[in-house]
Chains A and B, each alone.
Chain A
């Protein structure tokens, strides 16, 4: 029999394998973000939020919802995207992937697709959890889903690259801890950048996360720190950079093949 031009069975096998891993740990996967989100609501939404004034006409407790969802989506996408490819490297089962008739595009599609699926699901779970605490009205549902999917894919891809690059579990953790956490906190997850002094506001505009959170928040409330078109453009730009890096990685076999 002739080899197919697209190995759909291969993509499905990897995707199913990754989703099975997710389902095995479904409780850890879901309970942790739900508890974390609830804690944020207790602290920021109720305790502190009740003393905060509205932000651009949005009650503070509602204002932080898109930022909270994004925080989890960033973390989970990077974790799942990186773990999916790092673990086979670590335990040695990568041999099978490297000797299989799957193209690089198919490998990325399967791993990143599975990681992004989990992130989108988690994002929606957090949204549902949040709606138990505050009434949430989503202005642009289509855009909200669009941003959620796009950002999940982008960060899963970013995680995938991280997983290929990492040679140890320490390296795997260092980027999310050292880079993503500060960028997210300084990226307007809990405040509007209008609240910052002008100099800091300018500096913040160099933080790519600002554009992602701003765009996502716009889809909820119709107000944003930066123009939504710019947010969308930045998200696509980041996705393009990740795609370019992953293309180079596969072309050179970097850290995968000798």
Chain B
């Protein structure tokens, strides 16, 4: 598997809706074969529009998309047979049986019947016991899993998950991510959208940030987390400090509130190891610097967007506009 081979290639893609709303402005993006790509962005940024164009639900205004070498317009059959879509909303055929609706999806996507495959998917998604149940009797979480089963019924090599964790409880979310990882292990390329940076951080190989129809960042997760995943710890000191002792220089600390507060900013990867904070606190104790209170905060995706949008995207993040 060549990690650099794009399985999806999006070039100069724009979308202006009939209402005049410019949903996408010249998107260029390559998705690599076998990766998990997370598309982050606030509501209305264009995430779903982008996915819907690739899947054939929305027609692009200009630009081209190819999926596994098939142009999505000229060779839509070839492209769509490779793609599975789990939309954001839970759209289901309420009166159908679970197994019937999944079998239907496989046929609709042009694949010969394969009950063994359907059984495998339903078992993996813990829906096999519910196979004879009417869809409307399922819980929300089961319906979400059913949507995934339908999307996987025709054995796609590309899977789109549009906000898969919206309205999903913690346990189900964990199961879902485990399944996504095992899909990736079997060679499926996964593109997901989310509001939550933690989720992207947990799952993705690469991350793209989209805002107001523009792709403002596309980076490897590790590099992006370093840039975006800032955390901050504030110590309320017992005694105000005039200046930071030289032995604390390694941490890049900052004094605020007339020397009453000590600020330590660190990235999320350092937070995961915990070494930065632990060592700092140990050193403070050695120096006899006492503190009354301590709190940490993490930059939210909203903060990050505000920063990204404010920033001169070209110079600060090194990306194409």
- Per-residue A-contact encoding for B106-141, CB less than 8 Å = 1, 0 else: 111111110000000000000000000000000000
Residue of A nearest to B80 (CB): A101
Q: Are B108 and A3 in contact (CB under 8 A)?
A: no
Residues of the A chain whose Cβ atoms lie less than 8 Å from the Cβ of B89: 92
Chain B interface residue count, CB cutoff 8 Å, equals 38
Count of chain A residues with Cβ under 8 Å from any Cβ of B?
Answer: 30
Encode B62-101 as 1/0 by CB contact (under 8 A) with A: 0000000010000111111101010101011111100010
Inside 8 A of B94's CB, which chain A residues have their CB? 91
| Contact assessment for A101 and B77 in the assembled complex, using a CB-CB cutoff below 8 Å | yes
* Interface assignment of A99: CB less than 8 Å from any CB of chain B: yes
CB within 8 Å for A13 and B108 given contacts A99-B85, A101-B76: yes
Asked whether any CB of chain A lies closer than 8 Å to the CB of B58, the reply is: yes
Bound-state CA distance A93–B89 (Å) is 10
Q: Which residues of A sit under 8 angstroms from B80, Cβ to Cβ?
A: 99-101
CA distance A93 to B92 in the complex (A): 6
Is A170 an interface residue when CB atoms closer than 8 A count as contact? no
Q: For B92, what are the chain A residues with a Cβ–Cβ distance below 8 Å?
A: 91, 93
B100 CB contacts on chain A under 8 angstroms = 17, 20
Q: In the complex, which residues of chain B have a beta carbon less than 8 angstroms from the beta carbon of A100?
A: 80, 108-110
- Give CA–CA (A100, B108) in the complex, Å: 6
Partner of A95, one of B78, B79, B91: B91
Sampled A-B contacts (7; CB under 8 Å): A1-B81, A13-B108, A95-B85, A95-B91, A99-B83, A100-B80, A253-B59
Residue positions of A touching B, CB distance < 8 A: 1-4, 7, 9-10, 12-14, 16-17, 20-21, 24, 91-93, 95-103, 253, 257-258
Given contacts A17-B100, A101-B78, A257-B57, 15 further A-B contacts (CB under 8 A): A3-B77, A4-B110, A13-B103, A13-B105, A13-B106, A14-B108, A21-B95, A91-B93, A92-B89, A96-B150, A98-B57, A99-B83, A99-B85, A101-B77, A258-B59
B interface residues with partner A (beta carbon < 8 Å): 17-18, 55-59, 70, 75-81, 83, 85, 87, 89, 91-96, 100, 103-113, 150
